[in-house]
Every structure is written in structure tokens, then in C-alpha cells.
Amino acid sequence: MTGCGAGLSVYLHFFPQRRLFTALRRFLGGGRASDGKKVSSFGASAAALAGSLGTGNIAGVAAALTAGGPGAVFWMWVSAFGGMALKYSEILLAVHGRRKGDSSGPMGYIARNVGPVAAWVFAFGCVGASFGTGNMAQANAAADALHTAFGLPKIICGLFLGLAAFLVLRGGKGRVASAAGFLIPVVGGLYIAGAGAVLLLHLDRLPGAFCLVFSDAFSFQSVSGGVLGVFVSRAFRTGIARGVFTNEAGLGSAPIVHSAADSSSPADEGLWGVAEVALDTLVMCTLTAAVLLVVPCPGVDGAAWTAAAFSSALGDWAGGFLGVSSALLAFASLLTWHWCGEAALSYLGAGRRGLLFYRAAFFLAAVLGSVIPVQTVLSASDLLNFFMAAPNLLALFRARKTVREETLVYISQKR
């Protein structure tokens, strides 16, 4: 996947990367909010970012550091560099397809460039993944965090999470985008502020931490761990082998959301994806890694390491802060993945009754996910993620000329 991103970057003359700061300024400026009926570009981007953030950016980075050492952080940055081109391209193609009367997002451009069977495989994988890493793993992580922080029964956490999601989902895509547009800036901003406070308290250790990242980056252990770290960022307590892609670039989930955005420019919409990759990996993952490196906590790893680092620096209240942050990120991720799963199920031919059954099953999965071990679910999700990524990457390769043509049109219009 990193190789595909690098190839597309060269093919596009690094256009997505060169527009990084423009994309970030626009995202941080907020743009036009979704009004509950139409989905704005900002709302779609916030929803897509919610799907990739989840709980893994708090706990998953610790697993990458445990597996590959501090140098793993460097290789996650490298993966993000190529991921910008992947996400830009897949979102561009999804919006471009609407000109042909096709609003099915990645399923549409996969069918046109690879074939209908590949599109069905992608849709099947997306529906399955929406129950696994998009639902049960998120519910389990949120329930575990709230139980640890406040002693709440996990089943109650799962019921509340599922019911809250059910109520929001009744409002359709517009309400999901509005919820994400509110939650992601607020929760993300609070988490960044908390991590920033930890780093300010240990400012003298920060230069040494980043020196360690670069000096350790080219050892064999760190290279292998960093590559695996690409897959860790959305994992919950199951280690490197059970992870998924940290920013979901190339997976095909983001173009499902962006295909509903009220935007007429494919390339312009694609730039929102560049900001998503940067905020997910270069900001959130880097901040978590920096906190863990300046506040070492021997004897703990994963989510416990992150919680111990925050509590050690800020006090016992930080455990509750992380618990609430984890729950809200899980909730936002769950909403986005339902959106993706429902779109994929519709593509497979499900009618109104089938979609209602899916929504009910999604609610039950959140409740069950809060109380049962999810190792088996995550193992199956690895395969389902492959079913999504493989046809999507092949379609991106075959449609690369369309991506470049749309990019050149966008550049000429901006001159």
C-alpha cells in the first residue's frame, strides 16, 4: 500500500503533498457545516476522519512503539506521505463518478475500472468490516476505557453507545456528518490540548525523544515495527497482527463518505482527504507517540501505557479524560462505519427491509462487542480489510490517468 502511494505521488508530481498546508488551513477553518440534510465537504471530511481515528490513535501507537521501538514513528510518517496521494485519488474518483450519474463511490469506480465482481467483493468486505473494526472493536475499547476510568458496567456502556448511535443514525447521512463535524473538532482539540500539556511539562525531554525516533528509525526492528505500525493505529489490545490501516488511505472507506458531499470539484474534494491523513497520522499519532516517549511507564503497554503516561503527568483525573475521549472517538467511528456499511449493502441490492435489519444488527453488535473478546472478530476483519483494499488499489492504478487529468484541470482553474 505504501508503494502504491509512492507511485501515485510521483505520477501526480506530488500535487497532494504540495497542497498539504492549503488543505489543513481549510479543514481547521471549518468550512460550511452540514445542515442535517445536505452533507458539506467539511462534514464529510470530519466523518471520514472519525472513521479512521476511532480509539486506535490513543492505544494503537503504543503497540507500534512496543513492537518496533521509537523509530517506528518515523515509518508511520513515511506511510502518511504516500497515503495523502492514495486518499486524494480515491476521493477524487468517487466525486468524478457522479458526473456519470453514479453516486456509489468506490464501488462505482471499481466496477468501471476492474469489473463488477471486484466491486461486489469490495462491498462484501465493507459490510463485514463495519461490524468488526468499525463496530465491535470500537464498542469494546470504549466500554473497557469507561469501565477502567469510572467503574461502569461494560454492558451498560455498550447499550448506551448502541442506543446513542441508533438515534443519530435515524437522521441519515446529514445528521451523521453534523455529529462528526461537532465531535471530531471538540474531542480532537481536547486531546491535543491534553497531550500538549503533558509535553509542556516535560519539554526538556522532547528533543531527546525525537532524536531517538530518527536514530532508531533505520534499525531492522524499527523498520519492521513501523511498517506494522501502519496497521496498528485502529487495533485494540491485540497487537500488530490484528491492526488495520492507521489513516485508511487506500482502503476505500473515505470515498464512500465523500461521494455524498455537496461538491462539484473532484480534485477540490480530494484535498480534504489530504488533511485527514495529516491530522490522523502526523498530528494525533505523533502527539501520542511523543507523550509515550517523554513519559515512559515500564511494565505496561497498549492503552494502559497511554493512560499511565497521562495520569503520571497530569494526575488521576487524566484517566477519566482518556476514558471519555476514547468513548467519544469510538462513537464517532461507529457512526461513520455504519454509513459505509449501509452504502455497501445498498450496492449489493438490499432494500428498505434489509437496511432496517442491518441497523438493528449493528445496534446488537455494539452491545455484544462491549462484553465479549474481539480477537476472533479482528482476525476476520483483517481478511475483510484485504477484500476492500485489493480491488480499490487496483482500480486506483487503472484510473490513474483520470486522476491526473482532473488534477490538471483543477490546477488550470486556480491559475
53 near 333, Cβ under 8 Å?
yes
For residues 21 and 309, is the Cβ–Cβ distance under 8 A?
Answer: no
225 domain-assigned: yes
What total number of domains does the chain contain?
A: 1
In a domain, 165, yes or no: yes
pLDDT of residue 199: 94
Over range 62-75, report the average pLDDT: 76
Show the domain range for 344.
2-28+39-414
Place of cell 503533498: 17
The reported pTM is: 0.87
Instruction: Answer whether residue 180 shows pLDDT above 90.
Output: no
What is the band of 225 on the pLDDT scale with cuts at 50, 70, 90?
low
Max CA distance (Å), the chain = 59
Mean pLDDT to the nearest integer, 68-78: 79
Helices (H), 265-374: 266-277, 286-294, 302-314, 317-347, 352-369
Q: Is residue 278 part of a domain?
A: yes
What is the reported pLDDT for 271? 94
Residue 240 confidence (pLDDT) above 50 = no
CATH number of the domain encompassing residue 122: 1.20.1740.10
Q: Is residue 107 part of a domain?
A: yes
- Does 236 have pLDDT greater than 60? no
User: What is the percentage of the chain residues whose pLDDT exceeds 90?
Assistant: 36
Asked if residue 54 has pLDDT above 90, the reply is no
Q: Is residue 34 part of a domain?
A: no
Give the least confident one: 210-214, 226-230, 266-270, 352-356: 226-230
Interatomic CA distance for residues 185 and 320, integer angstroms = 19
Q: Give the Cα separation of 395 and 222 in Å (integer).
A: 31
pLDDT-based confidence at 103, cuts 50/70/90? confident
Closest alpha carbon to 323 in 145, 144, 157: 145
Question: Residue 202: what are its φ and ψ, rounded to 5°?
Answer: -125, 40
CA distances from 141 to 102, 136, 152, 376 (A): 36, 9, 13, 15
For residue 318, name the pLDDT band (cuts at 50, 70, 90).
confident
In this predicted structure, the answer to whether residue 247 has a pLDDT above a threshold of 50 is yes
Q: What is the pLDDT of residues 122-162, one digit of tens each?
A: 999 999 999 988 888 888 878 877 887 788 898 998 899 88
3-state secondary structure of 62: helix
Question: CA-CA distance, 148 to 25, in Å (whole number)?
Answer: 37
Q: Cα torsion at 46, 52, 56, 58 (round to 10°)?
A: -30
